Amino acid sequence: MTRLKSRLSDASQTTARRLVELMALTLQASLLVRHAPPAVADAFCATRLGGDWGYAFGTLPEAAGLDSILERALPGRD
């Protein structure tokens, strides 16, 4: 929210797309924090808002709670 507020005060025609992107990510994060399991919300926030991502698809920070995320996506996996 702090970064979004800062960018709103400096909004210009050249930064509008990035601002809208940040607004969408902030809304997505708020919905996940309220309605998703903590591991999913934390991983989203870390990779989309916290800057802890890699350049290859599927990279997550070490503390992302990958087991919880996979259990949610693939219940009963061994």
Entry pTM: 0.68
List, for residues 28-54, the tens digit of each pLDDT value: 999 999 999 999 999 889 888 887 676
- The C-alpha angle 25, 38, 33, rounded to 5 degrees, equals 40
Q: What SS3 state is found at 9?
A: helix
| Amino acid 68: pLDDT | 85
- Structural domain harbouring 52: 2-73
| Average pLDDT score over the chain | 83
Q: Is 32 inside any structural domain?
A: yes
Q: Is 26 inside any structural domain?
A: yes
Q: What distance in Å separates the CA atoms of residue 65 and residue 78, rounded to the nearest whole number? A: 16
Highest mean pLDDT among 6-10, 19-23, 58-62: 19-23
Q: Is 34 inside any structural domain?
A: yes
How many domains would you assign to the chain?
1
DSSP 24-60: HHHHHHHHHHHHS-HHHHHHHIIIIIS----SSTT--
Q: Is 78 inside any structural domain?
A: no
| Amino acid 32: pLDDT | 96
Q: What distance in Å separates the CA atoms of residue 49 and residue 39, rounded to the nearest whole number? A: 15
